[in-house]
């Protein structure tokens, strides 16, 4: 039972730290996977190049974008004809077509910038005919991290509750095993605090051990992943954004599992108290 | 030193096992308590060791009521009481020496002090043949001696022995009672009080001592 409990605790620490780690890195990895956080806008058709450049310059200083790319109508036309060669056969007058194509611009945002908020603000300036974004992508991203968060919360709750229950069960079994001895010692004048201390030591040391092993396992997984990614240059951008558990995450784990343990310990030791020292 | 006043003990089935029991042990020394099976001897001893409390009435030890103690006070009180159980209650994972020394360890005496007291008692009770054995590998009589040694080693003021001669032959019974009587006399200045419960008439006849009778829930001399 003791070993089963240790094993259980190790794995629950392992799983919850993995989830926590995943959650912690989800946004940065997902953003990395989207390659860039981009807002794209199309100007009105009839605006002049000077106007376009001036507007881009002013927006860029206002929002402090990381970078921007301007696509002129001619650029877009040649991009377009590259893919659809038949239009290049002179069916249409290229000059006429280019006139129909607006200037468009991609703003590349910094990671911490709120794309949808900025998009809304820019749209209000009424200089663009169309504001496309990576918005769909961002929405998806948001729902994924929400999912991870909810899943993580559920898992934590489950693991904490079961850890508390397992603690109660383990200590009760330990106490039950020592029942005769405990009774005799209490008749010889052993104080309740001595039992509290003894069983706290007896159970917390293996718990701390299991906790460390669980965390170590997560670290090994993280380390192996990093080693693997190192050899895959196309994932370099992911690797560069991955971190091991932050101190806040580790603290969350420590506090959570300690709370579960102490909760379980308190309950089982209370029963011992009433059994040994409540005169009925 | 020990005083029981209007003590009642009633279990769930409404029968008074002890009914208005009044008793005062003014003198130290050895008391036999005789009573038929079911008369309440074990119940009385449970009250005296604070394992249970009276339904009503009060018990005083050295003028302090022991009927309503908290956990801390209970363990303090028990350090001053030596209990000899009918079934010995030795801890099988400990050697006889460790079993006997347990009360001193609980009282947090130093290892050298414990060893000194253990050696003295081993000598006095002649335990050296089996002092390093485990309880399961020695005879019932040897276990009995070990249980007595454990009750005496902490030098308590009060000794409670529930049917301690139950499994002993006549000679060993008398030997054990002599040890307890000697202890009661020798203990410090005031002496100690020793209660021995028995329903064995032959033990009572062979050892002519002060005897109290537990009958109809009351204790009479
Ligand atoms: N925990 C309990 N719950 C209910 N009744 C009990 C309990 N303990 C003892 N009794 C009852 O109290 C009465 C006295 O029991 P007790 O064990 O004190 O007798 P005793 O004098 O020690 O008997 P014996 O000589 O056989 O050991 C008995 O009728 C018994 O059934
Ligand atoms: Mg009895």
The answer to whether the Cβ–Cβ distance between B89 and A279 falls below 8 Å is no
Kindly write down the DSSP assignment for every residue of chain B, as one continuous string: -EEEEEEEEE-TTS-EEEEEEEEEE-S-EEEEEE--TTSSHHHHHHHHTTSS--SEEEEEETTEE-SS--HHHHHHHHTTEEEE-TT----TTS-HHHHHHHHHHHTT--HHHHHHHHHHHHHHHT-TTTTTS-GGGS-HHHHHHHHHHHHHHT--SEEEEESTTTTS-HHHHHHHHHHHHHHHHHSTTT--EEEEEE--HHHHHHS---EEEEETTEEE-
Domain end point (choices B128, B155, B182): B155
In this structure, are B136 and B113 located in the same domain? yes
Other CB atoms closer than 10 Å to residue B221's CB: what's the count?
A: 8
pLDDT of residue A151: 80
Quick one: pLDDT band at residue A31, thresholds 50, 70, 90?
low
Find which of B45, B72, B75, B91 to mutate to test the A interface (most A CBs within 10 Å of its CB): B75
Ligand nearest to the CA of B213: 1
Percent of chain A predicted with pLDDT > 70: 80
In this structure, are B12 and B98 located in the same domain? no
Residue A256: name the closest of A17, A11, A21, A26 by CA. Answer: A17
Q: Can you read off the two tokens belonging to residue A38?
A: 């981009």
Q: Can you read off the two tokens belonging to residue A2?
A: 């003791």
Signed CA dihedral, A240, A241, A243, A246: sign only: positive
pLDDT of residue A137: 52
B13 contacts chain A (CB < 8 A): no
Kindly tell me if the per-residue pLDDT of A131 is higher than 70. Answer: no
Kindly tell me if the per-residue pLDDT of B154 is higher than 50. Answer: yes
The answer to whether the Cβ–Cβ distance between B68 and A280 falls below 8 Å is no
In this structure, are B76 and B1 located in the same domain? yes
In this structure, are B7 and B74 located in the same domain? yes
Minimal Cα–Cα distance from A186 to chain B, Å?
Answer: 7
Write out pLDDT tens, residues B18-71: 888 898 888 888 899 988 888 888 899 999 999 888 888 999 988 889 888 888
Its ipTM equals 0.88
A190 CA distance to ligand 1 middle (Å): 26
In this structure, are B68 and B31 located in the same domain? yes
Residue B118: name the closest of B169, B89, B152, B168 by CA. Answer: B152
Write out pLDDT tens, residues A2-29: 788 788 888 888 888 888 787 777 766 6
In this structure, are B8 and B63 located in the same domain? yes
**Which atom of ligand 1 is nearest the CA belonging to B45?**
18
First to last CA, chain A: 32
A272 CA distance to ligand 1 middle (Å): 24
Write out pLDDT tens, residues A80-129: 666 555 545 555 567 777 777 778 787 877 777 777 777 778 777 777 77
Q: Can you read off the two tokens belonging to residue B49?
A: 């060791």
Angle at A178 between CA B133 and CA A7, to 5 degrees: 115
B91 contacts chain A (CB < 8 A): yes
Ligand nearest to the CA of B214: 1
B45 CA distance to ligand 2 middle (Å): 9
pLDDT of residue A51: 84
Residues of A with CB under 8 A from a CB of B: 180-181, 183-194, 273, 276-277, 279-280
The answer to whether the Cβ–Cβ distance between A188 and B150 falls below 8 Å is yes
In this structure, are B163 and B72 located in the same domain? yes
More confident residue, A213 or A37: A213
- The β-bridge relationship of strands B158-162 and B193-198 is parallel
Other CB atoms closer than 10 Å to residue A212's CB: what's the count?
A: 12
Domains of chain A by start residue, with CATH: 2-32+142-277 (no CATH), 34-137 (3.30.70.3040)
In this structure, are B75 and B162 located in the same domain? yes
Domain count, chain B: 2
In this structure, are B163 and B141 located in the same domain? no
In this structure, are B37 and B140 located in the same domain? no
The answer to whether the Cβ–Cβ distance between B102 and A185 falls below 8 Å is yes
Kindly tell me if the per-residue pLDDT of A133 is higher than 60. Answer: no
Beta sheet of B2-10, edge-to-edge order: B16-25, B2-10, B56-61, B64-65
The answer to whether the Cβ–Cβ distance between A279 and B74 falls below 8 Å is yes
- The β-bridge relationship of strands B2-10 and B64-65 is unpaired
Residues A141 and A27 sit within 8 Å (Cβ to Cβ): yes
Instruction: Specify the CATH number for the domain of residue B33.
Output: 3.40.50.300
Distances from the Cα of B129 to the Cα of A256, B144, B145, B178, B188, angstroms: 54, 14, 12, 21, 29
In this structure, are B121 and B174 located in the same domain? no
Domain end point (choices B119, B134, B155): B155
Which of A187, A190, A277 shows the shortest C-beta gap to B83? A187
Mean pLDDT of A254-275: 86
Angle at A186 between CA A184 and CA A191, to 5 degrees: 150
A151 CA distance to ligand 1 middle (Å): 57
In this structure, are B76 and B169 located in the same domain? yes
More confident residue, B124 or A141: B124
Domain end point (choices B137, B155, B173): B155
Quick one: pLDDT band at residue A134, thresholds 50, 70, 90?
very low
Q: Determine phi and psi for A241, rounding to 5 degrees.
A: -100, -10
Domain limits for position B191: 1-80+158-221
Mean pLDDT of B67-76: 88
The answer to whether the Cβ–Cβ distance between A187 and B79 falls below 8 Å is no
């Amino acid at each position: 039972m003791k070993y089963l409990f240790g094993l259980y605790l190790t794995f629950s620490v392992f799983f919850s730290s993995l989830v926590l780690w995943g959650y912690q890195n989800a946004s940065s990895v997902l953003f990395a996977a989207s390659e860039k956080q981009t807002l794209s806008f199309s100007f009105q058709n009839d605006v002049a190049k000077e106007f376009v450049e001036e507007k881009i310059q002013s927006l860029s200083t206002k929002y402090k974008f990381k970078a921007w790319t301007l696509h002129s109508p001619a650029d877009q036309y040649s991009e377009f004809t590259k893919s659809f060669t038949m239009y290049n056969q002179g069916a249409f007058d290229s000059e006429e077509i280019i006139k129909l194509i607006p200037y468009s611009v991609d703003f590349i945002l910094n990671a911490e910038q709120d794309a949808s908020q900025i998009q809304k603000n820019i749209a209000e300036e009424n200089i663009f005919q169309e504001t496309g974004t990576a918005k769909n992508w961002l929405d998806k991203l948001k729902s994924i991290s929400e999912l991870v968060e909810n899943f993580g919360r559920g898992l934590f709750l489950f693991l904490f509750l079961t850890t508390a229950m397992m603690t109660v069960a383990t200590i009760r079994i330990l106490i039950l095993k020592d029942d005769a001895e405990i009774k005799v010692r209490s008749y010889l004048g052993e104080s309740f605090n001595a039992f509290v201390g003894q069983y706290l030591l007896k159970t917390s040391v293996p718990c701390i051990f299991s906790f460390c092993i669980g965390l170590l396992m997560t670290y090994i997984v993280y380390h192996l992943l990093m080693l693997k990614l190192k050899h895959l240059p196309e994932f370099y951008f992911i690797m560069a954004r991955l971190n091991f558990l932050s101190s806040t995450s580790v603290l969350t784990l420590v506090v959570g599992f300690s709370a579960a343990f102490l909760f379980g310990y308190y309950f089982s030791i209370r029963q011992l108290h009433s059994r040994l020292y409540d005169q009925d | 030193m020990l005083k029981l006043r209007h003590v009642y003990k009633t279990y769930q089935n409404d029968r008074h096992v002890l009914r208005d029991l009044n008793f005062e042990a003014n003198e130290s020394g050895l008391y036999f308590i005789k009573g038929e099976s079911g008369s309440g001897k074990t119940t009385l001893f449970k009250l005296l060791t604070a394992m249970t409390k009276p339904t009503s009435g009060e018990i005083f030890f050295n003028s302090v009521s022991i009927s309503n103690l908290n956990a801390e006070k209970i363990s303090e009180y028990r350090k001053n009481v030596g209990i000899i159980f009918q079934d010995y209650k030795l801890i099988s994972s400990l050697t006889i020496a460790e079993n006997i020394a347990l009360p001193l360890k609980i009282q947090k005496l130093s290892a050298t002090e414990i060893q000194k007291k253990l050696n003295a008692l081993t000598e006095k009770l002649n335990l050296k043949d089996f002092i390093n054995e485990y309880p399961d590998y020695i005879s019932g009589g040897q276990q009995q001696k070990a249980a007595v040694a454990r009750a005496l080693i902490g030098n308590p003021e009060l000794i409670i022995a529930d049917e301690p001669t139950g499994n002993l032959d006549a000679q060993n019974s008398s030997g054990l009672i002599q040890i307890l009587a000697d202890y009661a006399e020798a203990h410090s200045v005031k002496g100690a009080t020793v209660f021995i419960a028995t329903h064995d008439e032959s033990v009572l006849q062979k050892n002519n001592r002060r005897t109290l009778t537990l009958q109809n829930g009351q204790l009479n001399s």
